[in-house]
Structure 1
Amino acid sequence: MHPSNKVIQGFWIGPKLSLMEQLSIRSFLAQGHEYHLYAYDAIEGIPKGTTIQDANEILPSDRIFTYQHGEEKGSYSGFADLFRSHLLAKKGGWWADLDVICLKPFDFAEEYVIASSYEGKWGNPAINCVMKMPPNSVLANYLCEESDARDPNSLRFAETGPLLLQDALRKLQLENAIVDHEIFCPISWRTVQKRIAYAQPSAWPLRAGIRVKEFARSILKPHVTRDRVRPNSYAVHLWSEMWRRNQLDKNGVFHDNCLYEKLKQQYL
């Protein structure tokens, strides 16, 4: 593995990690990566082998904020967007959200790698759940400058996350860094309860009739994803925000055949 790919970096605010966050870290460790977890306080449930880093080295704790508006009011995700931008500006390398599960080593030769989400006829817009870039890069510096200039009290969901990232990639002509959604986000956020975590066994099996329908859809509606982990997938994004919105328990037990349980069996 190239040295620039060895370390995966993440961030957490809260007293403990759920099974999902533990699963994420363990998956990277199992695939041969080092994992550096940035935190401001002690956290329960950190997997053995994790390197704990002081988040104050990136941003002082007095800059922590939560969203003040909308359905995400009270969420730290806006601050997490800001934190990752400053982390990548200072350290460079890989960032991965703690709802991303590694399937094989992130050994990419490219300096810039940006995840994308499948959005049908709108294509594969960039998202910031998985990113790689050099330290002090023009991209990270742009994200920091734009984020720092905005009032945290008026931010809306994703404003300084995917939306700012997409704008930055266009302006800096770095859109070629965006990889296909199948690489890191092969399953859509729309189908979390159908593909990733469900209680009913009928949701997962691909019977012959479903396979025929999938084949026909690939011809008649080529912009519709097959919504499965593919051979070229390096990770799977579990979309924890959708778990929160749908009141799914990250520590819960689901049907044995669902992806979440299979990943838990593999890594936990």
Structure 2
Amino acid sequence: MQANRRPVASLWIGERLQYLNQLCLSSHVAQGHPVTLYCTDRVQNAPEGVELRPASEIMDIPMQIVAETSASFLSNVFRYKMIKATGAIWIDCDAFCHRPFPDEMTHIYAGHGMRGALNCGVVAIPREGALIDSLLDYYDNLPPAPPWFNKNQRKKLERQKDDLPHAVRIYRAERTAFGPQAFTWFAQQTGDYARALPSDRLYPVPFQLNDIFYDPHGRVEGWITDETLSVHLYTNGTRPYWRKNPPLENSYAWRKCRELGIDPAGGLG
């Protein structure tokens, strides 16, 4: 294991991690990356080797906005403010580190699923430049409507209640307008879209097939290549059953938990 690998960081809103989040954070520790988890609360069950820090070091998290949207919503703003402040690689808490991130790789992001849009579950971009400036300006100075919204999205936005915070109105019109849609749009505007890695590097398994991680007969490794760095587990799309029950023996999730000493029974819910 190489010492002094690049730092990675994420955000957690709440007091307890689910077992897949424990697994994914531990995987980065195991690969030698210093891992910081910024928290809104006192997290009770962070894996060994993960440094916990207050989210307020990066930005105040408006919990009333979180309550109107989702726990992951504000992470779309937080990640770029964190990158700007620290230069760390952003990792979602459901991104499993398959191989260490190369020291020389300045741009780490890729398309996912079957539609070609960029995902922002793992992101490294320069702290200075048009892309991060555009993203931060978008979040800090929300326009009346995101510039890429089509007619139907704009109609959905117009139907939202006027007394809602504008960010919430945008979210309810289009859930990914702060996440992949924004990242894809601004990367296209700045020319950084062309720097995207192939999907097998960060999202080898398409989102639409995420049940494969819990299938003892599934072949997750069939999607993984010699160039894969991260395997996204897509916990936002996990079926309720897998949130409440441990993974089946010999499934990818079960095998990786066993490799890294994670007890799934202790992180269900």
* TM-score, normalisation: structure 2: 0.80
| 2:76 maps to 1:81 | yes
Please give the alpha-carbon distance, in whole angstroms, between the structure 2 residues aligned to 1:138 and 1:175: 12
Match of 1:230 among 197, 219, 225: 225
| 2:134 maps to 1:137 | no
Aligned to 1:223: none
1:64 Cα offset (Å): 6.0
Aligned to 2:170: 155
Specify whether residues 28 and 149 from structure 1 end up closer, same or farther in structure 2 by C-alpha distance, changes over 3 A only: same
Specify whether residues 260 and 135 from structure 1 end up closer, same or farther in structure 2 by C-alpha distance, changes over 3 A only: same
Which amino acid in structure 2 is aligned with residue 257 of structure 1? N
CA displacement, residues 170-215 of structure 1 (integer Å, 9 cap, x when unaligned): 100111321111111111111112x1113xx4x4269xxxxxxxxx
Specify whether residues 61 and 192 from structure 1 end up closer, same or farther in structure 2 by C-alpha distance, changes over 3 A only: closer
Please give the alpha-carbon distance, in whole angstroms, between the structure 1 residues aligned to 2:64 and 2:222: 35
1:251 Cα offset (Å): 6.0
Please give the alpha-carbon distance, in whole angstroms, between the structure 1 residues aligned to 2:198 and 2:74: 26
Aligned to 1:116: 111
Does the residue aligned with 1:192 lie in a helix, a strand or coil? helix
Please give the alpha-carbon distance, in whole angstroms, between the structure 2 residues aligned to 1:6 and 1:93: 7
Which amino acid in structure 2 is aligned with residue 163 of structure 1? Q
Which amino acid in structure 2 is aligned with residue 145 of structure 1? D
Aligned to 2:59: 59
Aligned to 2:95: 100
1:2 Cα offset (Å): 9.5
* TM-score, normalisation: structure 1: 0.80
Unaligned runs of 5+ in 2: 143-165, 262-269
Please give the alpha-carbon distance, in whole angstroms, between the structure 2 residues aligned to 1:247 and 1:239: 13
1:262 Cα offset (Å): 1.4
Does the residue aligned with 1:76 lie in a helix, a strand or coil? coil
Please give the alpha-carbon distance, in whole angstroms, between the structure 1 residues aligned to 2:219 and 2:191: 42
Please give the alpha-carbon distance, in whole angstroms, between the structure 2 residues aligned to 1:163 and 1:130: 15
Please give the alpha-carbon distance, in whole angstroms, between the structure 1 residues aligned to 2:233 and 2:101: 17
Percent identical: 19
Does the residue aligned with 1:33 lie in a helix, a strand or coil? coil
